[in-house]
Structure 1
Amino acid sequence: MSDAPVKRPAGQNQLLIDLGPIVIFVLAYNVLQRLPATKENAVYIATGIFIAVTLAAIAYCQITRGRIPPVLLITGFFVTAFGGLTIYLRDQTFIQIKPTIIYGFYAAAILISLAIGQNVWRLLLGHVYTLPDRIWTMLALRWAGFFIFMAVLNEVLRARLSFDAWLNSRPLFAFGLIFVFALANAPLVMKHHVEDGEEGA
């Protein structure tokens, strides 16, 4: 197998891999809610679909790239664990707190890595950008704070919104805010990455 087919999906299909499972979850739930035969169990059937699509995305990455992105692997673990609890215990609370647990895990991983003299952000993205240590630390702290904010936001929305409203807001809050925050940090990254490249030229 040549290098080109392996690399192409990573660039062209990453958005689909990231967004696909949650979008399908939301769509499946809304469709099932409108069918009399599945209305009562819509959340549990949709959760099963969510788990299946997430595992399919993981398998797709392994087959087409020969590796699974760490973030997708972590997400898949929590989706399967909390989705499984939702179905087994017939309690939708577990799928609702899943984002809180994931965001908390990411924040803790970043802060713990910094505390032990490592930087998980640099480990994940160091092959893409060459940045000064202080910029890597700044980015790590920013993202840790952002993930804490997202965890708190999910709990606030979960407490104040109906399940339907909470679920339908997930794509916006899960990916919209992350996209905006990443975009806000892009100038810092590109500025120092370019400067580093010029210095090495």
Structure 2
Amino acid sequence: MDEPKTINPILKQVLELGPPLLFFVIYLRIRDDVFTWGGVEYTGFIVATLIFVPILLIAMGILWILTGKLSRMQIFTAFMVIFFGGLTAWFNDERFFKMKTTIVYAFFAAILSIGLIRGQSYLAYVMSEMIPMKQEGWMLLTRRLTVFFICLAVANEIVWRTMSTDAWVKIETFGFPILMFLFLWSQIVALERYTEIDEPK
């Protein structure tokens, strides 16, 4: 069995967080511009979206080469970005890319809910190697994360339907990730009593 490849944690963070940050920077630079291709006008947001897709794929390709694997969440997110980025360009409608976030969060909530109905934590299946925790703790975290994903999906719908594109881009790039980090951090602290410590052999 092949040994897992190690990667510098800073480089890993750059490859994972770099593409969204580049999208944000590119959008700020061209948001007021209009581009004409084939007689069709495209806003800066749509062009930034089209640029973001290959940037994300390149970053994921480098991450795969360096680590030898990609998580299911990364693969699914990349598929959704490509699919909805394509729809955004094809129909020349930025709403498709904005709806992508809602669908991703709703999908994660649905998958976790299916596991809960079956009395299982699919979250543990994905993350148990990173966070050793008792089954009771995984079930609690899965239920809370399911509700959190639903809240994020609803929040995204409210944001893109009622706020400006500028506001959505900022919240998508910084707001939702920060909320996710704070939520997971708070849950790890709250569920600390369920963590399992390997006894020395």
TM bin (shorter chain): 0.7 to 0.9
Following superposition, the deviation at residue 15 of structure 1 comes to 2.4
Answer yes or no: is the 8 Å Cα contact 2:19–2:56 preserved in 1.
yes
Answer yes or no: is the 8 Å Cα contact 1:78–1:102 preserved in 2.
yes
- Residue in 1 aligned with 2:23? 25
Question: 5 Å matches for 1:12-91?
Answer: 12-35=10-33, 40-91=42-93
Answer yes or no: is the 8 Å Cα contact 2:99–2:157 preserved in 1.
yes
Following superposition, the deviation at residue 34 of structure 1 comes to 4.6
Following superposition, the deviation at residue 156 of structure 1 comes to 0.7
- Residue in 2 aligned with 1:158? 160
Structure 2 spans left out of the alignment, 5+ residues: none
Answer yes or no: is the 8 Å Cα contact 1:33–1:40 preserved in 2.
no
Q: For 1:118, what is the secondary structure of its paired residue?
A: coil
Question: Amino acid of the residue matched to residue 21 of structure 2?
Answer: V
Answer yes or no: is the 8 Å Cα contact 1:100–1:155 preserved in 2.
yes
Q: For 1:197, what is the secondary structure of its paired residue?
A: coil
Q: Structure 1 or 2: larger helix share?
A: 1
**CA–CA separation in structure 2 for the residues paired with 1:55 and 1:40:** 22
TM-score norm. by structure 2 comes to: 0.88
- Residue in 2 aligned with 1:8? 7
Structure 1 spans left out of the alignment, 5+ residues: none
**CA–CA separation in structure 2 for the residues paired with 1:139 and 1:166:** 28
User: Percent same amino acid at aligned positions?
Assistant: 27
TM-score norm. by structure 1 comes to: 0.88
Q: For 2:69, what is the secondary structure of its paired residue?
A: coil
**CA–CA separation in structure 1 for the residues paired with 2:60 and 2:16:** 10
Q: In the superposition, relative to structure 1, how do residues 116 and 30 fare at CA in structure 2: closer, same or farther (>3 Å)? A: same
Name the count of aligned residue pairs.
195
